[in-house]
Amino acid sequence: MEDKNIINNDFKDIVFNRQSVRKFDPTVKISHDEFEQMIAETASAPSACNLQAWHFVIVDTPEGKEKLKSYFMKFNMPQVETCSDMVLLFGDTEAFKSYRDLWTKAYHNGQIDKEKLDEVFSTFLPLYEHADYDTLVMDASIDSALAAMQFMLVARSHGYETNPIGGYNTKKAAETFNLDAKRYVPVMAIAVGKRAPQDKPEVKSVRYPVKQICEFA
């Protein structure tokens, strides 16, 4: 994968110095070309059965931001107003409908053999074709949550900061952007941009001690 806009390749810095930024430099614009590169890098995240049940809506216009203001909670307005882009991440409960084409293409490209193709069609695909809606929502949400984390780290490697956001009216998320609300379930939004000077010093968020959250079995 081309990595022309990756300016930070320091794993420790990218991962451990990530923190939610809520005030961005509003003058910064991220090109669609670079954004598509970040999404391509994000889409290398793992997903159950490689279903890739995620869908990204990238909001970067004043009109789009007005729409966000109609259903985002008030405390998230600084991010809406100052971010370069707001990524709306939806789980796609119908991703399995493209699954046959994806794997058939991989087979024709010589990336998998016939045995693997048959296995996919006889083992994984029926799981989704016969799954109930709640299972499809859960699977799509898990896939998308992994993509969300990967996106936040990819953004840092491009020199941007992020804030994951769940504070919005989830019932309005899909319909506001003309998506089928049954198919596309909201997972989270992610504000992206360059850090602006903050009004008050950022407090590093605290974590529970490992012994409290972890056990060996």
Ligand X SMILES: Cc1cc2nc3c(=O)[nH]c(=O)nc-3n(C[C@H](O)[C@H](O)[C@H](O)COP(=O)(O)O)c2cc1C
Binding residues (CB under 6 A) for ligand X: these are 19-20, 22, 76, 163-167, 188, 205
Residue nearer to ligand X on the CB measure, 22 or 55: 22
Residue nearer to ligand X on the CB measure, 100 or 172: 172
Q: Is 199 helix (H, G, I), strand (E, B) or coil?
A: coil
Residue nearer to ligand X on the CB measure, 93 or 144: 144
Residue nearer to ligand X on the CB measure, 206 or 217: 206
To ligand X, the closest distance from the beta carbon of 202 in angstroms equals 8
Which among 190, 195, 194, 193 has a CA at the least distance from the CA of 42?
190
Give the neighbor-by-neighbor strand order of the sheet with 184-193: 54-59, 85-92, 184-193, 161-165
- Alpha-helix runs per DSSP H in the chain: 11-16, 32-42, 62-69, 77-82, 96-108, 114-119, 125-129, 133-157, 170-176, 210-213
- C-beta nearest to ligand X: residue: 167
To ligand X, the closest distance from the beta carbon of 141 in angstroms equals 10
Residues 6 or more apart in contact with residue 104 via CB below 8 angstroms: 117
To ligand X, the closest distance from the beta carbon of 198 in angstroms equals 12
Residues 6 or more apart in contact with residue 100 via CB below 8 angstroms: 121, 125
To ligand X, the closest distance from the beta carbon of 152 in angstroms equals 9
To ligand X, the closest distance from the beta carbon of 105 in angstroms equals 33
Residue nearer to ligand X on the CB measure, 136 or 188: 188
Q: Is 192 helix (H, G, I), strand (E, B) or coil?
A: strand
